Structure formats: structure tokens, C-alpha cells
A and B are shown apart, each in its own frame.
Chain A
Amino acid sequence: MEGWDPSTKSALTQIPLLSTRAGPRDGAAWTQRLKEEYRALIAYTTMNKSHDNDWFRISAANPEGTRWSGTCWYVHNLRRYEFALQFDIPVTYPATAPEIELPQLDGKTHKMYRGGKICLTVHFKPLWAKNCPRFGIAHALCLGLAPWLAAEVPILVDSGVLKHKDDESTSAES
């Protein structure tokens, strides 16, 4: 964990760890795992709100809890940039980390695979592998998506690839 900023580190330590090693094919064990996922997400969201650092909304998109969707946002130069967020739980979860997708940014940055899957290979996958099965969705957001947004959004905005939604509407009107 060297090289991580202190606030991420302290946030990470407060997200409850998971213990059940179970994927979507494991029946009752998966339900147990889902409960743990929810507890971690609830704790993380509550913590973010209390630190005035709320930055995502996420909920299961199907009853099995294998597909998740929501939104995430990043504030740059006092303006809020919001993106739709989605991912599937891989069939080999939790050995395989979820591939977080931001479809709106597809094709706008090289730090992304086809379909808007953000690149997690360097900064996140090794951590996930080392902490399997204790890391869950909340950890993936905290250590995978949050640093990606912090690194990519400022570059995308400054280079003009990404426009704020207010600017887009005004340019369309003029």
C-alpha cells in the first residue's frame, strides 16, 4: 500500500472486510457474500457522507446481485462531472475482480478497454489478488474507481475531451 494517499488509506481501513469466498454460482454462500457486500457498501457510503466526500451511488440491478449499476461523480475546478457506472460480477468472483464500466467515457481515453471498462491492471488488480476474498465491491470502488477518476477526469477536462454538461448545452444553443 505504499504510494497511496493517507485519506484513501484511512478510508480503506474503515471499510469492513468480507470473509465468504463465494461467487454467483455458489447458491446460499453467494447470498451470504452479498450480505457482506451490502454491509461494506453501507459502511463506506455512510463514511463518505459523514466526511462530506460522497462520490457514488450503487445498487444491484438484478435480484441475483450479479449486475450492479449507479452513478459516480468527480469534482474538478469546483464543477461536478457525473458518469453512469455499471459492472457485472464475474462468474469466477471473488478470484476475479469486477470490471468497472463507465460507458459514457468509452473511446475518450486510452486508460480504458472496449465498452468503457476502466483500466485497473496496474493500480488495483494486484491488491485485489492479494486480498481475495476479503475485498469486495466497496473496496473495488475505493481502490479501483476513485483513483482512476482522480487521475483521468482532470486530464480529460483540461484537454477538452470532456465537457461539463452546462457548457455542452450553452454551446448547443449558441
Chain B
Amino acid sequence: MEEDLRSLLQDLESLKGCVSDRHRIGSIDEMKQRVVSIVNLTKSGATRRSKVKDMSAEVVDSNPYSRLMALQRMGIVQNYERIRDFSVAIVVRAPAVIGIGGVGSVAAEMFTRHANSLSIASQPFFQYAEVGMTKTDAAVQTLSDINPDVVLEACNELGQTWMESGVSEDAVSGHIQLLVPGETACFACAPPLVVASGVDERTLKREGVCAASLPTTMGVVAGLLVQNALKYLLKFGHVSPYLGYNSLKDFFPTMEMRPNPQCSNNACVERQKEYLQTKPARDAAAKGKLEAESSENEGPLHMDNEWNISVVDDSEMDTLNSCGVSGALPEGLIHELPTAEKYHESLATEEAKTVEDDLEELQRQLDALNAS
């Protein structure tokens, strides 16, 4: 900042040399005065740590980044400095009573030390935190400008990858989920049974019991969430689509979360279709990568293969298994209920034939009824 201002002063000086008009010179002098006062102002405020221009790997007391940059030296992260190019949006969904979402606020604190900009939207009634990750401030701006009720819908519409995380009601377990629209399950793909079956949620509430909260669980889950976000952004390690945490048994289950083809969120279904369309290209890319790798370490690992052992691809296994399980029934048996796709088709045709009227015509009809 100071350097910029000094160069500005020099520019003004050279400008002054080119101008002959007395009034102009006076105004330029005035501008110089103002710049000097700003320089003084920044000097007086220098006790506050200025933003470090380059993240140096030098190990000295004054460098807060040396430990992080060590990640780079050890070969874990390719380029840690890239973290500054990212913007992170955190949506805090806080429980109505306690005030602020535990996971979201801890995660926000962790992120302020790293990422370029941070935007936090508050959404009452739920105890979850979501982290949207993006390369542009514009997307963060979009997300923070819209109604907090539809942030998640907007992520599906924009194709914005985000992470969702929460702590259970009894505060002893939590989860972190990676949501890549179209590729992994979204927030609406697998609703809790009470939501999916439309059971009244109040029937679950026990008298005199409110949601528990344990700051350590919040801290652990927030830590895992931010860790996963950093892994995703800086492209190191593997980011599990779903990571669970059971503190009572120190159990960390991970699993795939495939999107639901019948998801109630339309944008999610759209993204799923797009993802399927790009599948051939992705497969080709993966195959090319695999071939490149295999060409590097050519030559069989073992010279003899007495038992004819061969490595089979996961996807090949799927096709082998599916022959027995899906679709094909033994002769003489039929499915009683239609498959999901057929059910949807029948619904769609029904819709198409029932409503073809003009909207204005319908409005007129209602107005006529209202008037009589």
C-alpha cells in the first residue's frame, strides 16, 4: 500500500512538470498533500499486521505462514498460495434458541486465516453449516445476495460444489458431505425418513428435551469440514463424498452418496442429466490417465501367474453383478409395481393432457366467479 502511494506521488510530480497552468499546478500540489497524509495515516496504523503480500516459506518468527508452507516442501500440497485465489461462502443455519450455528462459526473462524474472502449468511432453525467453494467472488456475491432460504437450491442451479456438515441432536456424532451437483447426492436427494414420509416432526419431540450441544464435537466436525474444504480446493488427498463421525466409538465411516434420480429438487435432476451426458468424455479422460500411468511402470509385477489371478475394474464388477440382481426376473415372475421411470412417464403424460388452458382464460374464469 505504502509503495503504491509513493509511486503515485512520483507520478504526480512528473505530471506537475508537464503542466504549465498555475491553477492546475496548485490542484496537483493539493493532491500530493492528500497522498502524503494518507501515507502518514497508514504508518500510524502499522501496528495492525498488514496483509502479507507473498506467503513466504522462510522460517522466522514474523512469518505466520512458514508452517503452512512446509506442507508444500513436504510435497503434500502443490501450491498452498493458491488458497488466496478462492472465495468461500459459509451458510450458517443456527438453531433458533442457541443463537449461532456451532459448526459454521468455528469453520468461519478457521477460514478467515486462509481464504481470500468470506461471506456468511444466517439461516435460522437448522443446525447445519454449508460451505460453498468457488474461484470467483461473483459467485459468493450471488449466493450472499439471494434469500437464505434458497441458497442450497441456487447451488444446484449454478452447479456450485459445496460441503454440508452438521452435528446430531445428541451432540455426539456428526457428518461432512461433499455435494457436487449431479454427481453426488444433494440436500434433497435423501431426506430423513420423517421428512420423506411426511410424518409430523413434532411427534418426535420429547417433553422437556432440547437439542444438545457439545463444543468439542462442533470443533472436531468443523475441523474435518474445513480440512476437507482445503483438500478439495488445493487438490490434495481424497475428499470423501460422505464422512461420518461417531465420537462415542471413535468411528469415522465414509461412503459414496449417489444422487437420487427422483430427487424433489428439479435443478438436481437437471445436473444429474448433464453429468450423465458428459460420462463418455470423463471415462475417456480417466482411461487415458490410467494408460499413461501404466505405460510408466510397464512390465508384469510377477513373472508367473500360476492361479490366473487378474485385476478387474470396479465398473466391470458392477456390470457382472447387476445381471443377477436388477431387472431380469426368473421366468414366470413379474414386478407388481411399475419401475420409477415408468411411474414418472405416466405422471408426465397425465399432466400434459390435463392442463392445456391459457392462464389468462383461467384468470378470467376466476374473476367471473368472484364477481357473481
Contact = CB atoms under 8 A, between A and B. Distances in A.
Given A19-B351, A57-B370, A59-B366, A38 B359 contact: yes
B329 to A, nearest CB: 31
B200 interface: yes
> For the side of the interface on B, what is the size category?
20 to 34
A126 B198 contact: yes
A66 interface: no
Contact of B367 (A21, A31, A59, A132): A59
Contact of B362 (A20, A25, A35, A95): A35
Contacts of B149: 90-92, 96
A25 B372 CA distance: 33
Contacts of B200: 126, 129
A36 interface: yes
Nearest to B365: A42
B50 interface: no
A44 to B, nearest CB: 10
Contacts of A8: none
Contacts of A35: 355, 357, 359, 362
Given A34-B359, A126-B200, A42 B351 contact: no
Contacts of A91: 147, 149-150
Interface residues of A, number: 34
Interface in A15-47: 19-22, 25-26, 29, 31-32, 34-36, 38-39, 41-42, 45-46
B369 A38 contact: no
B201 to A, nearest CB: 8
A32 B369 contact: no
Given A26-B266, A29-B266, A39 B362 contact: yes
B81 to A, nearest CB: 38
Interface string A39-82: 10110011001000000011110000000001000000000000
Contact of B359 (A19, A31, A92, A129): A31
Nearest to A34: B359
A58 to B, nearest CB: 8
A45 B366 contact: yes
B347 interface: yes
A19 B347 contact: yes
B308 interface: no
A34 B366 CA distance: 12
Nearest to A95: B264
Given A32-B355, A38-B363, A39-B362, A49 B369 contact: yes
A34 to B, nearest CB: 6
A70 B150 CA distance: 28
A38 B266 contact: no
B207 to A, nearest CB: 16
A130 interface: yes
A96 B264 CA distance: 13
A45 to B, nearest CB: 5
A172 B355 CA distance: 52
B137 interface: no
Given A21-B266, A25-B150, A126-B198, A36 B355 contact: yes
24 contacts: A19-B347, A19-B350, A20-B351, A25-B150, A25-B153, A31-B359, A34-B359, A35-B355, A35-B359, A35-B362, A38-B359, A38-B363, A38-B365, A39-B357, A46-B369, A49-B369, A57-B370, A58-B370, A90-B149, A91-B147, A96-B149, A126-B200, A129-B200, A131-B198
Interface of B: 147, 149-150, 153, 195, 198, 200, 202, 264, 266, 347, 350-351, 354-355, 357, 359, 362-363, 365-367, 369-370, 372
